[in-house]
Amino acid sequence: MQIVHSIAHLRGRLTDLREGGAAIALVPTMGNLHAGHLRLVEAARQRARSVVASIFVNPLQFGPGEDFERYPRTLKEDAGKLAESGVDLLFAPPVDVMYPEQRKNTAFVEVPGISDGLCGAFRPGHFRGVATVVAKLFNLVQPDLAVFGEKDYQQLLVIRKMVADLNFPVEILGVPIVREVDGLAMSSRNCYLSPGERARATRLYEELCAARRAILEGERDFSALAERAMSRLKEAGFEPDYFEIRSASDLSPPVPDRRPLRILAAARLGRTRLIDNLEVA
**Contact footprint for ligand PAF (CB under 6 A):** 28-30, 58, 61, 130, 133-134, 152, 155
User: H helices of 152-257, where?
Assistant: 153-165, 195-201, 203-216, 222-235
Residue 83 CB, shortest distance to ligand PAF, in Å, is 19
What is the closest distance, in whole angstroms, from the C-beta atom of residue 33 to ligand PAF in the complex? 10
CB of 152 vs ligand PAF, minimal distance in Å? 5
Q: Which is nearer to ligand PAF, 125 or 237 (CB)?
A: 125
- From 5, 9, 34, 37, active-site residue: 37
* Residue 38 CA: distances (Å) to CA of 44, 52, 84, 199: 10, 13, 10, 24
Element (H, E) at 247: strand 239-247
Are the C-beta atoms of 233 and 240 separated by less than 8 Å? yes
**Bridging pattern class, strands 272-280 and 2-4:** unpaired
Sheet holding 145-149, edge to edge: 2-4, 89-91, 50-55, 24-29, 145-149, 171-175
Cβ atoms of residues 153 and 177 within 8 Å: no
| Burial track 113-141 (b if 16+ CB lie within 10 A, e otherwise) | ebbebbbbeebebbbbbbbbbbbbbbebb
Choice between 67 and 206, CB closer to ligand PAF: 67
Query: What distance in Å separates the CA atoms of residue 234 and residue 267, rounded to the nearest whole number?
Result: 9
Nearer residue to ligand PAF within complex by CB, 123 or 203: 123
Q: Minimum distance between the CB of residue 224 and ligand PAF, rounded to whole angstroms?
A: 32
Residue 150 CB, nearest approach to ligand PAF (Å): 11
Q: Give the E-state strand segments of 40-92 in sequence order.
A: 50-55, 89-91
CA distances, 231 to each of 108, 217, 240 (Å):
38, 21, 9
Choose between 14 and 172: whose C-beta lies nearer to ligand PAF.
172
Q: Is 28 or 240 the residue whose CB approaches ligand PAF more closely?
A: 28
| Residue 160 CB, nearest approach to ligand PAF (Å) | 13
Which is closer to ligand PAF, CB of 174 or CB of 254? 174
Q: Catalytic site residue 9?
A: no
Three-class SS of residue 50?
Answer: strand
Residues with catalytic roles: 37
